[in-house]
């Protein structure tokens, strides 16, 4: 592995710090973008970023679900160092924070936001959070919601607090629900119904009852309030209907603050643009975290019905539009030259992820995972191998990079850029790879580490991939098509150079390599 000296070549004088915009998309897969080979859906704005910057073809998120990837991005530490013990249905040890999780990031430790704030940046987060808020057990939603982003260094925050498909369906601005009428407080519970809006939970629904998009769902899907639904759940998402969309978690009240799903993309984009405008005359760091292309997929009027592959394509177009609005403003303000834009995704793709939205049926020849196996939730490549585009005109080598990169290194890399003295000392896992991000250095990380939905860890070294044995299910049956999870009670070893779809488990044939990689993993686990 190449070791870069602290504060090495890439460190920058304070007065010339570039602005930094991280566009972190949700569930966007390796094959979802034009510049990565998609042809059924157009992404001109992202493709332009790729043309003007560097596009990575071997870049990884740290996990195949949202919470642990975001945790690693902001803290530089693998989330599996503190196994969460959450459950979803029958699945135990799941790495998806429930909607009433308290703040997961320890405010006493450095974060990407605190490091950049200390370096003189105005720091803002706009969009999906999903890292817990408030004390353990969740916040007082009607009061001041803390700890949260401001406790880890964000000057400004406008959040989708959990996910679009989880309550509460409100935005939280700087620790308060935006637009909340104090006479109509919200009530939120992840344990029991909380009032008339708590709806259609039906414990008799099991995965084998999922029907395809063109069949009529069994009556049970609608429970007692079918008439309110504009989109059926295909699994779960059956506790509260807000705007005709059924969600996970119980909620009532807060009518004046409820978001409208059709408007989420535009609302958060406007907030992101406001943040840039407000801070245009000083270095700023914006973490813009889109809702698209996560479920529920409810495109705004501008994009509804516009793609040839149903809502799945519509929301990709919408996400691309958000990107275009941001780059357009940077152009208009004359800031493009001095802004480092990083575009990537939190985990791989999924089609039907609990809503009857046609994504499993109308997708045609579009391949969200590109050539790879698996997707969201999975230990296979498409779970974490995601698009990464970096643009900083004049500063990055334009073109395509095959150098391996892991999002775990974003913390130390951006810390180094901001002049932080000892970026590799910030966390146990993150290493300064800034020269890789700019294409100056082509010897990337020699080891890539990632986890799947149930915390099974894999390591990649020199095209060999080892997936540790685990006891999770072989498929996630809550999705359609059912997602291969990469779980097996046996160790797995793939040569992802020659067997890119991970068909042949060579662990028995090649016990030395299996042992070598499992030892490496053990050492990483033991690292303090
Ligand atoms: C799953 C949800 C899925 C999605 C996911 C989180 C069900 C059946 N599935 O449990 O719809 O919300 O959690 O996605 O409830 S993530 O991108 O935020 O990790
Ligand atoms: Ca996600």
DSSP 401-437: E-S-EEGGGHHHHHHHHTT-S-GGGSSSS----HHHH
Mean pLDDT, range 405-410, rounded to an integer: 98
Q: What spacing in Å lies between the alpha carbon of 346 and ligand 2's midpoint?
A: 5
Predicted pLDDT of residue 213: 60
Please tell me the pTM assigned to this model. Answer: 0.95
Mean pLDDT check: name the lowest of 111-115, 121-125, 232-236, 396-400.
232-236
User: In the chain, pLDDT over 90 holds for what percent of residues?
Assistant: 82
Q: What spacing in Å lies between the alpha carbon of 138 and ligand 1's midpoint?
A: 18
Give the ligand 1 atom nearest the CA of 294. Answer: 17
- Which of these, 242, 286, 236, lies nearest to 264 by C-alpha position? 242
Residue appearing with tokens 């799903």: 261
Q: What spacing in Å lies between the alpha carbon of 352 and ligand 2's midpoint?
A: 14
Whole-angstrom distance, CA of residue 319 vs CA of residue 379: 26
Closest C-alpha to ligand 1, atom 3: 353
Residues 6+ apart with CB under 8 A from 354: 165, 233, 234, 235, 236, 237, 295, 478, 479
The first and second tokens of residue 178, run together, are: 């935006």
Residues 6+ apart with CB under 8 A from 300: 262, 263, 265, 266, 318
The first and second tokens of residue 357, run together, are: 């939205």
- Residues 32-78: pLDDT tens digits? 999 999 999 999 999 999 999 999 999 999 999 999 999 999 999 99
- Residues 448-474: pLDDT tens digits? 999 999 999 999 999 999 999 998 999
Q: Which fold has domain 448-526?
A: Arylsulfatase, C-terminal domain (3.30.1120)
Which residue ranges make up each domain of the chain? 3-182+259-437, 187-257, 448-526
Q: What spacing in Å lies between the alpha carbon of 9 and ligand 1's midpoint?
A: 41
276, 329 contact by CB (below 8 A): yes
- Which of these, 108, 76, 105, lies nearest to 432 by C-alpha position? 76
Residues 6+ apart with CB under 8 A from 401: 54, 55, 56, 57, 58, 436, 439, 442
Residues 6+ apart with CB under 8 A from 325: 269, 272, 273
DSSP state of 101: P
Q: Which fold has domain 3-182+259-437?
A: Alkaline Phosphatase, subunit A (3.40.720)
Predicted pLDDT of residue 444: 86
Ligand nearest to the CA of 160: 1
Closest C-alpha to ligand 1, atom 6: 96
Rounded to a whole number of angstroms, the distance between the first and last alpha carbons of the chain is 19
Whole-angstrom distance, CA of residue 474 vs CA of residue 470: 10
507, 514 contact by CB (below 8 A): yes
Residue 2 has pLDDT above 50, yes or no: no
CA dihedral 173, 178, 182, 188 (to 10 degrees): -80
Mean pLDDT, range 508-523, rounded to an integer: 98
217, 352 contact by CB (below 8 A): no
Predicted pLDDT of residue 84: 81
- Which of these, 85, 77, 83, 80, lies nearest to 106 by C-alpha position? 77
Ligand nearest to the CA of 205: 1
- Residues 74-84: pLDDT tens digits? 999 999 998 88
Predicted pLDDT of residue 219: 59
Predicted pLDDT of residue 5: 37
- Residues 218-227: pLDDT tens digits? 555 655 576 7
User: Average model confidence (pLDDT) for the chain?
Assistant: 93
Predicted pLDDT of residue 502: 98
Q: What spacing in Å lies between the alpha carbon of 199 and ligand 1's midpoint?
A: 19
Whole-angstrom distance, CA of residue 162 vs CA of residue 139: 12
Helix (H, G, I), strand (E, B) or coil at 246: strand
Residue appearing with tokens 């029958």: 90
Residue appearing with tokens 């990632």: 450
Give the ligand 1 atom nearest the CA of 27. Answer: 17
- Residues 86-107: pLDDT tens digits? 988 778 889 999 999 999 999 9
Predicted pLDDT of residue 7: 38
The answer to whether domain 3-182+259-437 and domain 448-526 are alike in fold is: no
* Pocket, ligand 1, Cβ cutoff 6 A: 26-27, 65-66, 88, 96, 130, 163, 165, 235-237, 248, 294-295, 347, 353-354, 478
């Amino acid at each position: 592995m190449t070791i870069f000296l602290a504060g090495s070549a890439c460190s920058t004088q304070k007065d010339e710090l570039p602005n930094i915009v991280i566009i972190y998309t949700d569930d966007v897969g390796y094959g979802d973008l034009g510049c990565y080979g998609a042809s059924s859906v157009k992404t001109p704005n992202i493709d332009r970023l790729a043309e003007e910057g560097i596009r990575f073809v071997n870049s990884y998120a740290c996990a195949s679900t949202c919470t642990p990837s975001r945790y690693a991005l902001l803290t530089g530490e693998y989330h599996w160092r503190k196994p969460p013990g959450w459950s979803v249905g029958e699945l135990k040890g799941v790495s998806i924070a429930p909607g009433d999780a308290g703040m997961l990031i320890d405010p006493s430790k450095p974060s990407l936001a605190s490091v950049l704030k200390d370096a003189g940046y105005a720091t803002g987060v706009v969009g999906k959070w999903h890292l817990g808020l408030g004390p353990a057990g969740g916040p007082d939603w009607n009061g001041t919601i803390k700890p949260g982003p401001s406790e880890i260094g964000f000057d400004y925050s406008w959040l989708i607090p959990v996910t679009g498909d989880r309550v509460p369906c409100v935005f939280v601005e700087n620790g308060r629900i935006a637009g909340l009428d104090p006479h109509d407080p919200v009530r939120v519970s992840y344990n029991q119904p909380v009032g008339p809006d708590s709806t259609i939970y039906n414990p008799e629904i099991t995965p084998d009852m999922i029907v395809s998009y063109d069949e009529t769902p069994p009556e049970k899907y609608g429970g007692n309030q079918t008439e309110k639904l504009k989109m059926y759940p295909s699994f779960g998402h059956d506790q509260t209907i807000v705007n005709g969309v059924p969600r996970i978690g119980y909620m009532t009240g807060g009518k004046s603050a409820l978001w409208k799903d059709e408007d989420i993309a535009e609302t958060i984009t406007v907030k992101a643009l406001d943040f840039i405008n407000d801070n245009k005359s000083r270095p700023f760091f914006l973490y813009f975290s889109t809702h698209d292309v996560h479920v529920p997929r409810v495109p705004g009027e501008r994009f509804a019905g516009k793609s040839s592959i149903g809502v799945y394509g519509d929301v990709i177009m919408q996400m691309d539009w958000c990107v275009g609005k941001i780059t357009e403003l940077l152009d208009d303000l004359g800031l493009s030259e001095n802004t480092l834009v990083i575009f990537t995704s939190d985990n791989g793709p999924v089609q039907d992820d609990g809503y009857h939205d046609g994504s499993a049926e109308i997708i045609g020849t579009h391949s969200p995972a590109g050539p790879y196996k698996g997707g969201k939730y999975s230990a296979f490549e498409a779970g974490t191998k995601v698009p990464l585009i970096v643009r900083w005109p004049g500063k990055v080598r334009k073109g395509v990079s095959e150098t391996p990169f892991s999002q775990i290194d974003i913390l130390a890399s951006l810390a180094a850029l901001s002049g932080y003295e000892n970026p590799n000392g910030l966390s146990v896992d993150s290493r300064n790879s800034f020269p890789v991000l700019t294409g100056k250095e082509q010897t990337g990380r020699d080891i890539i580490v990632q986890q799947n939905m149930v915390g099974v860890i894999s390591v990649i070294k020199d095209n060999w991939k080892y997936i540790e044995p685990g006891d999770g299910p072989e498929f996630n049956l809550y999705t359609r098509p059912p997602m291969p999870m990469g779980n097996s009670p046996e160790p797995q070893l793939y040569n992802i150079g020659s067997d890119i779809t991970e068909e042949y488990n060579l662990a028995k044939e090649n016990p030395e390599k299996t042992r070598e990689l499992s030892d490496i993993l053990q050492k990483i686990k033991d690292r303090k």
